[in-house]
Structure 1
Amino acid sequence: MRRLHGAIRSYAWGSHTVLAELTGRPSPSGRPEAELWLGAHPADPARVDVAGSGESLLDVISADPLGQLGETNASRFGGRLPFLLKVLAAEEPLSLQAHPNSMQAREGFERENADGVPLDSPARNYKDDNHKPELVVALTKFEALAGFRDVRRTVGLLRALGVAELDRCAELLAAQANSSGVRALFTQWITGDEHSATLIGGVVEACQRYLCAEPDGVAGEFAAEAQTALELGSRYPSDPGVLISLLLNRITLEPGEGLFLAAGNLHAYLRGAAVEIMANSDNVLRGGLTPKHVDVPELLKVLDFRPGSMPVVSADSDGRDNKHVYRTPETEFALTRLHLDTSRNCASSSAATLAAGNPRIVLCTAGSTVLLSHCDSLELGAGHAAWLPASNPAVTLAPAQQHAQVFVATIGSG
């Protein structure tokens, strides 16, 4: 086992304080820090402490795929680590986006290669040939838009805002209350016309009226949706993403709660800190709320327009309240959250064991933990991580102080 140093990614929507404070660096940082990458993606691999120096995790795995991943995993995933672990710190909303499935990613990657689009081009949609399902688990209260809302509730929201154009849209959607109706309205709004800016302005004003009309401070049924559209409209006053936000589920995750996003799921993270695990990909198709490259025709090819709720993923407990497993259908990744606490009556809650045989990234997000394996030990404070290759013997985790919260990322079963 070796200490793992993540790569900080700076985007405009990031925080000047969250990642700096988590990793024990001076705060505020000089630039917004949005993501901490802990993985072996070629765009920004983490670095492993090897013989007193830092070596790319990508190179470490490439040099010894059987020892690092295990024979079965190396064969299944072509000698590549199939997941990417991140910490997100969103101070402002991310772009409206979706990710392709495996077939779409392969075809798009090959097509852009054939067209000669450089990998680092801002106009590039497909940075690799992999799909990107993802699971996000909140570290703080975490706000998001995700998935097309149940049509009946969307019709109710559009009518509640009291805008004549939205009333007409509500009638059309109510008459075709399925994915085809959602697709038609989405396409009408995302492609826009000369009247779009006027409609966006009218929606923003309507949201403000709706919020001001709340009696005695009691929030209306659609207060969160109206507040979100109002905030997005102030940042992106002519962006059709403001209208699209009215079609999406508005979700609030409390710390420890998760959200799983399959391919084609339209979403935008709004604010908060979270741990995120995904298939090892950086493919993003954007539809708005960003100064970055937007490709609406390509986005329309991958979107899943089926309306419905987005269930919160609550981790399964092992019964001792220290091990919480987040279940998803994906085979590339699995995520577990550990609560290690010496003050609890149950002695087993103060330690956890990771069996040998699978590669793992261990990330401490609160307190500090000690990893013990035979005669080897490694202490991780908050914001620090470790790489455990498949060939590593079993590892025991215990809190170095009174408590620790630890996330363990590994390859899924199946």
Structure 2
Amino acid sequence: MNRSNSLDALRGFAILAMVLSSSIAFGILPAWMYHAQTPPPYHQFKPELPGITWVDLVFPFFLFSMGAAIPLALQKKIRENTPAYKLLGHILQRFALLVFFAIFTLHTRAWVQSGTPGVTEYLVSIAAFGLLCCMFIKMKSVIPKIIAFALAIAFLFYKKIDLSRSDVIIIVLANMALFGTLIWWLTIRQPLLRLGVLPFIAAIFLSAQTPDSWGKVVYDWSPIPWAYKFYYLKYLFIIIPGTFAGEWLQMALPTGNGGDKRKWQLVAAGTLALVLINVIFLFNRQLVLNLVLNIGVGAAMLFLSRKMLSPVPSWMNYLQAGVYLLWLGLFFDCTQGGIKKDPSNYSYYFVTGGLAFLVILGFSILEYYGYCNRLIKYLAANGRNPMVAYVAGNLLLIPVMHLSGLMQVYKNMDANVWLGVLKGLLFTGIVSLITLFFVNRKWFWKT
């Protein structure tokens, strides 16, 4: 069994759900189909609104999968005794490439190039997608990569772009790749110290609320404000737990007894139940009922697993970590105005991190026992090329739709709820097909 399939499936689910959430009809669907803090019909940001929807799980699940990938990516280099300066160079290079990706992909979107984009802007977007292929696909010759970067930089200079304008999601991911990897590397043999970093980060956030404190100075300081802000480090509360999942993924596969199959199936069902319970009841703010159900289902899953043979040693770790973080996050829901994605708070980090542990556990169980193999493989394939999936819609599909005249048909699907959902499913399905086209040819975009 390819153990990384579960992680890739989690990442694939996150990236496809991200595309879906941004392509469904605007304003006419039920409130639970959008971010909880930007409800329909006007989608005005209301930070006072607590709660989460399925859309609010997308970004933390992707962050969690990024954290889990850190040990998988670097362990081989460490086992090969790669010099520290080369490892550090690799980490810094990845940060720089992601920042560049965030700037370039934003400014090559047709509607960013011009308020009234035309044929030229759409062709530039398509050309930018082609340049990204040359930049991030591994090739035998380095010449196409050099030419692609030179053309991209020339375009940015020609447009006199503002560095402070970039894709903030990718900027956050760049910061998490940098600081998450450094923290994991420095604490590789001291995992408790890795967790110990988090209270210090929390302390800076708290002290930043006090004017003239040194904590406020640390919080505000940035040598490159367009690429780094201490504010982004709050997502380490998701990334760092994710690194533990990545380490547990590398536990040796057992041989022999397959464990208590039927009981583990119940645990897998429990992971799905907890996701649904929290999305439904946290959104509707039925907090007491939600807490009771979470404690009941979580305790039942822990009790069920106590005397079970675990065919995969990591499963117990996922279950215990997931339930612990979930309960912790629900207790924090009584603070900071309730769970919120934006501005995100501790309840949000812990609840979504706990659910991410449980989802990867559910995928692992299903894969091990041969259930939903097609679905898991499909999600995993998309998860292996997330950079393609992230930009294919904006830089390739939307320009092609405009140039071909199909965009008007697409916009007409906003007429009612069912067509509005179908609109998003069709868009996401095509983006997925583009991604799978690249995966099947092993054209992986790597930083």
Q: Say yes or no: TM over 0.5.
A: no
Sort the TM-score into its range (normalised by shorter chain): under 0.3
Which has a greater percent of helix?
Answer: 2
Point out the structure with the larger strand share.
Answer: 1
Task: Return the TM-score normalized by structure 2.
Answer: 0.26
